Structure formats: C-alpha cells, structure tokens
Amino acid sequence: MPHYFDSAHREEIETLRQRLTARTEWPTWLLLIGVYGGWFSIMLASNRLGVWWSTLLLIPLVVLWLSVQHELLHGHPTRWTTLNKVLGYVPFAVWYPYTLYRNSHLLHHRDEDLTLPGIDPESRYLSAERWQGSSVFEQSLHWLNKTVLGRFIVGAPLALLALAREELQRLRSGDRQAWLMWLTHGALTVSMLLFIAHYSVVPVWHYLLLISVPALSIAMIRSYYEHRPHAQPEQRTVLNEAGWPWRWLFLNLNFHLVHHDLPSLPWYDLPRAYHARREQWVARSGGFLVQGYAQLWRENGIKAIDSPRHPFH
C-alpha cells in the first residue's frame, strides 16, 4: 500500500480487496469466458454473419482482449503467473507476444521513469539527441502522432515498426529468450490463422490488416495521453473520466493514476476507489484531469497535444 495514503484511505482499499468479488475474481473469469466464447462463436458463425458483420464484432472484441491481457499480467484472476500466462497467450490480437507485453509493461510501472525516452518502454517521447537525428519526414510523423486522428491512423504502424526493429535486433544477436518467445508466438499465431482459414469466411489477410490493426489503433486512443512529462512522477499520469463504452472497452484504465498507484487492484474496483476519493486523486495528479475521450477529440483531433520531444530528458 503506498505510504502517502492516510489510514482511512488504506482501510477503504483493504475493504475492496477483502470483498467476495475480489477474492474470487469472478468478473474477470466471466470476461475471459466471454472473450474466448465470443471470438470462436463469431468465427464459426461468420458464414451466416458475413465478413463485414464479423469484422464489426471482432474489432471491439480484440480491443477488449488487449485489456484482458493487461489484467492477466497484473496478477488477475489468479495468483499464479504461469496460469495467467497460459490464459493470456492466445494471439487474438496477433502482433505482441504476451511475454513481451508483460515484461515491457511491468517495466513501465516504475513511475520514477515514466515518459523518459529509452527508459520507459511505453514512452511516446523522443530524446533531444534522437529528435535532432530524425529526418523532417520522421519528425512530421511524430507530430502527427501527437494528434488524436494521427494517433489513430499512424500510431499502430509506428508501434509495429518499432517492435519489428527492436525484436529483429534481439533475434540477430542470438537472444535465446527472444527466439523461444517468437517461435512459440509464431506457432500459435499460425494455428489461429489456419483455424480462421478453415472454419470461417474471414480471409486471413483481412483478419491481419482489417481486424487486428484497427483494434490496435483503437487501443492506441487509450494510451494517447495517459502520461505527460512532469518533474513530479505522480503528476505524470492522467485521470480520464470517460463514458461507459470506453470504460468497458479499456476496463477502467482511464482512471490511470489509480491503476499506477494500486496496480494490484482489479479493473472492476478502480471506479469505486477513484470516486470514493476523487478530490484527493485529482490533487495528487496535479490537476491532470481529462473529461473523457470526447474532450481529447474536440481539442486535439488535428492539433498536437504537446511536443514529441521530451522537455527535460
């Protein structure tokens, strides 16, 4: 429990953790069953649904799966890391092996390093040296990525190019763990794509380009302005009071400071923890409060929210 919580706040959080829901984690189990069942049901029914209705159903389901994987790597619904890994390794979202996502994301939770390029693996900022060494075209892409529309269009391709560059370097260096991870992920992905080709009317290329990539693009909206550079680490993380469709799709990660301060708290308890102490959370964030994703669209749809260059790293 963070040291800056007073005794009453600690007691509230502990009460949340002792509830039957928290002990059994049944909402997360239901979510897992729902996503697995939904994916296979849509695929098997795709000949009746058709390609495009199947696509419209699968995209949000894959976005939800990315959020479920996030819960799994944070120790839900079981205390056993290996079991959570098995539950989350299915590559519905295709591009990121679960192990890679888990390891990089847990590094991201070192709050003193948040946003620092080259240190925080989820930073969307560039160091002064990297910025100066970039071409005008690259700088333009990074500026575009700082708008909501640009983030939706180029965020996923930029992330996938960075992933390919970093992981190919690891593979070329003979990193045994990287080879094992990618061979496992590759075998499972090929098996999934064979299932799609055999049992559904969705073409494999269609799933790769028109389902998994758009799902990743939507997930990129969540992380668009989760963090900002600030001298105080606790003021680098947003509180986004999003509407229920987004909260459900992102499993309440819009209350991002609450999640960073209490990473072991399950998704269904984040709103309760936030609203019980809203003023304290807003004060702790230094007023880093966004009134939903619609505000971001209105104010920064085509206008960069800040500079791609990190201001003090």
Give the 3-state secondary structure of residue 240. Answer: strand
**pTM attached to this predicted model:** 0.91
The pLDDT value recorded for residue 165 is 94
Percentage of the chain surpassing pLDDT 90? 91
CB 306 within 8 A of CB 148: no
The pLDDT value recorded for residue 86 is 96
The pLDDT value recorded for residue 15 is 64
CB atoms within 10 A of CB 248: 14
Please give the average per-residue pLDDT across 221-242, as a whole number.
95
Q: What is the DSSP string of 249-281?
A: HTTTTTSHHHHHHSTTS-GGGHHHHHHHTHHHH
147 pLDDT tier (thresholds 50, 70, 90):
very high
Express each pLDDT in 82-114 by its tens digit. 999 999 999 999 999 999 999 999 999 999 999
Domain positions in the chain are 7-300
Residue 262 confidence (pLDDT) above 80: yes
Return mean pLDDT, the chain: 93
312 pLDDT tier (thresholds 50, 70, 90):
confident
Express each pLDDT in 163-198 by its tens digit. 999 999 999 999 999 999 999 999 999 999 999 999
Residue 3 confidence (pLDDT) above 60: no
The pLDDT value recorded for residue 24 is 82
CB 313 within 8 A of CB 125: yes
Residue 25's contacts (CB-CB under 8 Å, 6 or more residues apart) are 76, 77, 78, 266
- Kind and range of the H or E element at 120? none
Q: Alpha helix locations (H) across the chain?
A: 7-18, 20-24, 26-44, 46-49, 51-73, 81-88, 98-108, 128-132, 136-144, 148-172, 176-199, 204-207, 213-222, 244-249, 256-261, 270-276, 278-284, 293-300
The pLDDT value recorded for residue 13 is 67
CA distance 235 to 284: 7
